[in-house]
Amino acid sequence: MMAMPSGMKTFWDRGPFWFALAALLLVLAHWSGAQMEIALAQGGPGYASNPPPGSVITLSTTVGVPATAIITVSESGGSTLTISGITLSNISAFSLASPANFSIPDGGAPQTISIVCTASTGGSFVTAVVVTHNAPGSPVTYTIDCIVSAASPATAAPTAIPATPTPAAPSTTRVSSEVKGLAVRSGPYLGATLVGVARPGNPITVQARSTDEGGEYTWYLVSVEGATGWASGRYLQFEGDASLLPLQGSIFDQIDNAPDVGVSARMLAITDLRRRPSGRAQILRQIPPDAVVSVIGRTVQNGGSFWLHVRYEGQVGWIPAYAVMRGNLSNVPVR
């Protein structure tokens, strides 16, 4: 029989060690991959979204015109999914237009995360959206690529051929004679603070529009008698195509991370926590009777508080101002 070289004999003598190591690595890989399945099987929360985590969302718009990316989040496990934070990079071109934290109970309806891209110059702008939650795999990241083009200069029609009139966005509007005056508010919501009144017959400069409240009426950003604010389109009469006005956000899109000011309120009854100060706005959750909330902002009308901006169990939203107050309300910012 041929003798085995000494080096080869040493290698095969170590064979059982390498086989055992390979088997151990396979067991560890199977164990780590099964942990998420075990957590979900035991009733823990699960995170799912459309588009899925890691996706790249591409937006296209023009200078000064907002474009919105929507991420729909749902609970895919067996208990309440809590979103504890949403952060953006490149906040000079991007802003969060939805709550930075919210919860979805097991079997609850999906909720949306809205990120708005607005730029004053043309170019490509990128943000990383990081969502922190209480399910396996946290945090998750999405990338939004917003391509902003400069407004194209208008091309004059040939003088020899009459041009067909092109619909234009109105620059002015008037209040219908059906009302004596139309409220002008600090935001495009029924519960926003009253900042002025538009009278019938007087021309009003109109700059932009908003459909953020919901409902059948669009709100318009107007300037009248030295005041600038938002008026409902229900009683406005336009000369031109109002749908061509640019969509625009308001101060209410920027204050959901407002700090506590040491003022609280106790609920007198079951109260709907809404995304914005309006009975038409999305309901985020219900607050039970006797629950105590932190008051971080308010709107006013007729000399009194109208809606309260509150934080409850880490979630921020708006409630009508009928709760029992604790603290100096003058310390609460008016929005």
Looking at the fold, whether 128 and 180 belong to one and the same domain comes out as no
Question: What kind and span of H or E run contains 130?
Answer: strand 123-133
pLDDT of residue 115: 94
pLDDT of residue 7: 42
CA torsion sign for 119, 143, 141, 248 is positive
Q: In the listed set 102, 118, 149, which residue is the last one of a domain according to the structure?
A: 149
CB proximity list for 298: less than 8 A, separation 6 or greater: 305, 306, 307, 308, 309, 321, 329, 332, 333, 334, 335
pLDDT of residue 16: 61
Q: Identify whether 7 is part of a domain.
A: no
Alpha carbon 162 to its chain centroid, in Å, reads 46
pLDDT > 90? residue 37: no
pLDDT of residue 154: 53
What are the b/e assignments for 201-225, b being 16+ CB within 10 Å?
eeebebebbbebbeeebbbbbbbbe
- Three-state DSSP at 244 gives helix
Mean per-residue pLDDT over the chain, rounded? 84
Q: In the listed set 219, 244, 269, which residue is the last one of a domain according to the structure?
A: 244
Residue 218: both structure tokens together: 């669009």
Q: In the listed set 180, 214, 244, which residue is the last one of a domain according to the structure?
A: 244
Q: Identify whether 129 is part of a domain.
A: yes
pLDDT of residue 12: 39
Looking at the fold, whether 176 and 240 belong to one and the same domain comes out as yes
82-140 pLDDT tens trace: 999 999 998 889 999 989 999 999 988 999 999 999 998 989 999 999 999 999 999 99
- Three-state DSSP at 9 gives helix
Q: What is the CATH number of the domain that holds 90?
A: 2.60.40.10
Nearest-5° Cα angle at 270, 268 to 271? 90
11 vs 225, residue with greater confidence: 225
Mean pLDDT score, 296-301: 94
Side-chain-side CA neighbours of 112 within 13 Å: the count stands at 10
pLDDT > 70? residue 267: yes
Rounded to whole angstroms, what are the CA distances from 312 to 230, 251, 273? Answer: 28, 21, 9
DSSP for 15-45, written as a single string = HHHHHHHHHHHHHHHHHHHHHHHHHHHTT--
Looking at the fold, whether 239 and 265 belong to one and the same domain comes out as no
Q: Identify whether 27 is part of a domain.
A: no
How would residue 20 be classed by pLDDT, with cut points 50, 70 and 90?
low
Say which residue the tokens 């991959």 belong to.
33
How would residue 312 be classed by pLDDT, with cut points 50, 70 and 90?
very high
Q: Identify whether 8 is part of a domain.
A: no
Residue 199, domain extent: 172-244
DSSP for 132-184, written as a single string = EESSTT-SEEEEEEEEEEPPPPPPPPPTTSPPPPPP---SEEEE-TTSS-EEE
pLDDT of residue 167: 73
Query: In terms of C-beta density within 10 A (0-12 exposed, 13-18 middle, 19 or more buried), how is residue 130 classed?
Result: middle
Mean pLDDT score, 17-22: 50
Residue 217: both structure tokens together: 């009426």
Q: What percent of the chain has pLDDT over 70?
A: 83
**Domains in the chain, number:** 3
Looking at the fold, whether 185 and 131 belong to one and the same domain comes out as no
Q: Identify whether 303 is part of a domain.
A: yes
